[in-house]
Structure 1
Amino acid sequence: MAALLAGCATGGGVPADLDPVSSPEWATDMARFAAEDAATPPPARPVVFTGSSSVRMWETLAADFPDVVVLNRGFGGSQVRDAVWYADEVALRYKPRQIVLYAGDNDIAEGRSAAQVLADTEAFVARIRHTQPGTPIALLGIKPSPSRANLLDVQRDANNALRAWAATQRNVAYIDVFTPMLDAEGVPREDLFIADRLHMNAAGYALWKDIIGPFLVR
């Protein structure tokens, strides 16, 4: 399976020990991105946002950062390893000035550990560095959502590991969206989420806009 997936990836640099993609459904998303690019050529050297549904559902992304050329390449339900396998399709082909990654949320929900999230994130950064060594990368911490409040401890461990590792890397920033999304009692803020208590509402994205904005490369 790994060999087959490696053949599907358009570039090199995928670690030999990387787990297979979490779902074959992502091929449909990649085809959709290719069709969108063919219909409307993407901007030159954008800041690419990629990762799972918190990125995919950010419909106001361009309006929230009017002074930054952004491109949304989120694919809902994905895990960190999926971003590694499809790094060409969701990021590298655009020769981005910066990549912003949000992933790890679904990984932990599916039983992966904080150590696995970190290892896969390291593989993602290595994959980018293999082809475009100087590209700045911003890693968004895993958000705390009411529907996954039982996973807060593992999410916190993963975020702490990501923060510590990013601090040792050049051109890798960790952005803490976890802490501001907790209330005074350390509970995920219900007011930031839609009815499913997992995905963010406009207030949640407004908070993210304010947190992430200072980190973006203009």
Structure 2
Amino acid sequence: MKKLKATLRQLFTLALGANVLMIGGLTFGPSGSPPALAQAASPVDAPLPANAPYASEINAFQEADKKRMPPTGAVLFMGSSSIRMWTTLAQDFPEIPVINRGFGGSFIHDSTRYADRIAIPYKPKIIVLCAGTNDLAYGNETPQQVFQDYKDFVAKIHAALPETRIVYLAINPTVARWKQEPKNLEVNFLIERFSVETNSQAEKLSFIDPHSQLLTADDQPQLRLLRADGLHFNSEGYKVWAAIVKPRIMALAAIDGVERLDAPKAAPTPQ
């Protein structure tokens, strides 16, 4: 035992002389602190497993971000296929930075689930959400449940980005889901009322309803704006939708200080 203690004492002395100490498998240097360990991938940085909902879409977005991260302070469009298929989004809003993170078939709670991956990292000034119709059609949710999902989305975003404005684009009228129209209108009503009652300016909530302008004179969906499936906008539909939505979004972008891409550049200071 005495020999063991002497040996340990000798090793300890040698370690101090070399300014190195091993404790519990960690090497401590002169500062008394262990060296920096390699950082493990953050859970939101690691790719989603293949069996996760919308894994391919979300992983593709994050891979694109690694190659070129979108600018902060932009206007982020999220939601289901109406956003995903808006391929002319940047052309329709050339004056401001926009990001498209729509993924087809998604529910509102899917945007909430993946907000840490495809929303919050961008620190957008405005998030435009267009979702809810699939929740009613495929999720068998009631309008009240869809409304609660929207409030959960708002809570998730504002917990991380309290100054970010959230704009809800009302569910559009379509031929394919015309029987669902009363539920669509109820969701639109609940979210519009919530946006107003919550004090939209202070709470950064807004509501845009192009619904009535997408109907015919006898209050039917305009077939000329829809693809053959009677559900999704065709190119003409997106032109009409953009023309309705853009003035409101541009006005909010001005209020919230979204940087304009068409602003004149300051002249260089003479040397």
Answering whether residue 79 of structure 2 is matched by residue 51 of structure 1, we say yes
User: CA shift at 1:214, angstroms?
Assistant: 2.2
User: CA shift at 1:78, angstroms?
Assistant: 0.2
Q: What is residue 133 of structure 1 aligned with on the other side?
A: 162
Q: What is residue 206 of structure 1 aligned with on the other side?
A: 239
Q: What is residue 90 of structure 1 aligned with on the other side?
A: 118
Answering whether residue 211 of structure 2 is matched by residue 178 of structure 1, we say yes
User: CA shift at 1:96, angstroms?
Assistant: 0.4
Which of these residues, 214, 219, 225, is aligned with residue 192 of structure 1? 225
Larger Rg: 2
- Maintained 8 Å contact 1:9/1:86: no
Instruction: Name the CA shift for 1:9/1:182 in 2 (closer, same or farther; >3 Å).
Output: farther
User: CA shift at 1:9, angstroms?
Assistant: 7.2
What secondary structure, in the 3-state scheme, does the structure 2 residue paired with 1:112 have? coil
- Maintained 8 Å contact 1:9/1:85: no
Q: Aligned equivalents of 2:165 and 2:181: distance in 1?
A: 28
Matches within 5 A, 1:103-114: 103-110=131-138, 111-114=140-143
Normalised to the residue count of structure 2, the TM-score between the two structures is 0.70
Instruction: Name the CA shift for 1:150/1:183 in 2 (closer, same or farther; >3 Å).
Output: same
Q: Which runs of 5+ in 2 are unaligned?
A: 1-41, 46-50, 259-271
Q: Aligned equivalents of 1:76 and 1:137: distance in 2?
A: 20
Q: Aligned equivalents of 2:110 and 2:179: distance in 1?
A: 24
Q: Aligned equivalents of 2:114 and 2:53: distance in 1?
A: 12
Which of these residues, 66, 85, 90, is aligned with residue 62 of structure 1? 90
CA distances 1:67-122 after superposition (whole Å, capped 9, x unpaired): 01000000110001111111122211100011000000101112211101110000
Q: What is residue 63 of structure 2 aligned with on the other side?
A: 35
Percent identity of the aligned residues?
Answer: 38
- Maintained 8 Å contact 1:49/1:99: yes
- Maintained 8 Å contact 1:9/1:88: no
Q: Which runs of 5+ in 1 are unaligned?
A: 1-7, 12-22
- Maintained 8 Å contact 2:76/2:99: yes
Answer 1 or 2: higher relative contact order, Cα 8 Å, separation at least 6.
1
Q: What is residue 24 of structure 2 aligned with on the other side?
A: none
Q: Alignment length, in residue pairs?
A: 200
Instruction: Name the CA shift for 1:9/1:143 in 2 (closer, same or farther; >3 Å).
Output: farther
Q: Aligned equivalents of 2:92 and 2:239: distance in 1?
A: 8
Answering whether residue 185 of structure 2 is matched by residue 156 of structure 1, we say yes
- Maintained 8 Å contact 2:170/2:209: yes
- Maintained 8 Å contact 2:62/2:118: no
Give the ranges of 4+ consecutive aligned residues of structure 1 lying more than 6 Å apart after TM superposition: none
- Maintained 8 Å contact 2:126/2:165: yes
Instruction: Name the CA shift for 1:204/1:9 in 2 (closer, same or farther; >3 Å).
Output: farther
Instruction: Name the CA shift for 1:9/1:127 in 2 (closer, same or farther; >3 Å).
Output: farther
